[in-house]
Amino acid sequence: GAGVSQTPSNKVTEKGKYVELRCDPISGHTALYWYRQSLGQGPEFLIYFQGTGAADDSGLPNDRFFAVRPEGSVSTLKIQRTERGDSAVYLCASGTSGGAADTQYFGPGTRLTVL
Amino acid sequence: DQQVKQNSPSLSVQEGRISILNCDYTNSMFDYFLWYKKYPAEGPTFLISISSIKDKNEDGRFTVFLNKSAKHLSLHIVPSQPGDSAVYFCAASATAYTGNQFYFGTGTSLTVIP
């Protein structure tokens, strides 16, 4: 079946602009995660959704970052007033249950470049 | 601070030999560990996991060893194949505290030479 998809695959924007990154999880997966991977680093947790609600948003770096999942399926990560330091690959993953031992299936990521 | 560390950024191994990838962690609350494999332009793919109640878990050519006292885990791939060439990330979670947050290492790039 279809895996996790993310759009766009690449996004170039200017400092100060607003961007939205989209994640389509595997159908039926209730858990959804956003990660950020900077160059030379491993993925860094941002936020976890269980259904429509953000169960853990402690990884969001500041209030410029916000994510939604209004119908418990597709999620959008929103970044306001982008800064050059936001440049990274943003990864989305989904899982069947969200438990600690739940396998997370990752999408290919969106590469965000802030000029 | 980096709670999960992979101190070898790269590793080269001959086809057919053993690949050993290492990972160290600092948080004694971590009780669940995973290895992910990542090819270029793709997301990480789950490979194998281990709970802290075990010291070894095996799945085909892949075995993960956990040494809790040393806060160290390793991934063994035997025999190594060219298709194993990828970046390998270890990740850890403190399931009783922040169960859905996985902390990743910086990755080790494995090259298997035919």
On chain A, the residues whose CB falls within 8 A of the CB of B102 are 43, 45, 104
User: Across all residues in chain B, what is the average pLDDT?
Assistant: 94
pLDDT of residue B96 exceeding 90: no
User: How many Cβ atoms are within 10 Å of B47's Cβ, its own excluded?
Assistant: 19
A45-59, A75-89, A101-115, range with greatest mean pLDDT: A75-89
Residue whose structure tokens are 């070894």: B56
Distance from B105 to chain A by nearest Cα, in Å? 5
User: Residue A1 has what pLDDT?
Assistant: 57
- Find the radius of gyration of the CA atoms of chain A: 13
CA–CA distance, A47 with A63 (Å, rounded to integer): 13
pLDDT of residue A99 exceeding 80: no
Any A CB within 8 A of B70 CB: no
CA–CA distance, B37 with A88 (Å, rounded to integer): 19
> What pLDDT digit, counting tens, does each position of B11-44 carry?
999 999 999 999 999 999 999 999 999 999 899 9
End-to-end C-alpha distance for chain B, whole angstroms? 38
Q: In terms of residues, how long is chain B?
A: 114
Residue whose structure tokens are 């194949």: B81
Task: Specify whether the CB–CB gap between B88 and B107 falls below 8 A.
Answer: yes
Residue whose structure tokens are 């609600």: A53
> Which positions ≥6 away from A105 have C-beta within 8 Å?
A3, A4, A26, A29, A93, A94, A95, B43, B46
Any A CB within 8 A of B35 CB: no
- Dihedral of CA A50/A53/A57/A60: which sign? positive
Q: Which of A107, A97, A99 is nearest to A37 (CA)?
A: A107
User: Residue A40 has what pLDDT?
Assistant: 87
Task: Specify whether the CB–CB gap between B80 and B19 falls below 8 A.
Answer: yes
Interface contact flag, B89 A105, Cβ < 8 Å = no
User: Residue B23 has what pLDDT?
Assistant: 97
Any A CB within 8 A of B41 CB: yes
Taking residues B83-92, report their average pLDDT.
96
Taking residues A45-74, report their average pLDDT.
93
In this structure, of A28-37, A75-84, B99-108, the range with the lowest mean pLDDT score is: B99-108
User: Residue B99 has what pLDDT?
Assistant: 66
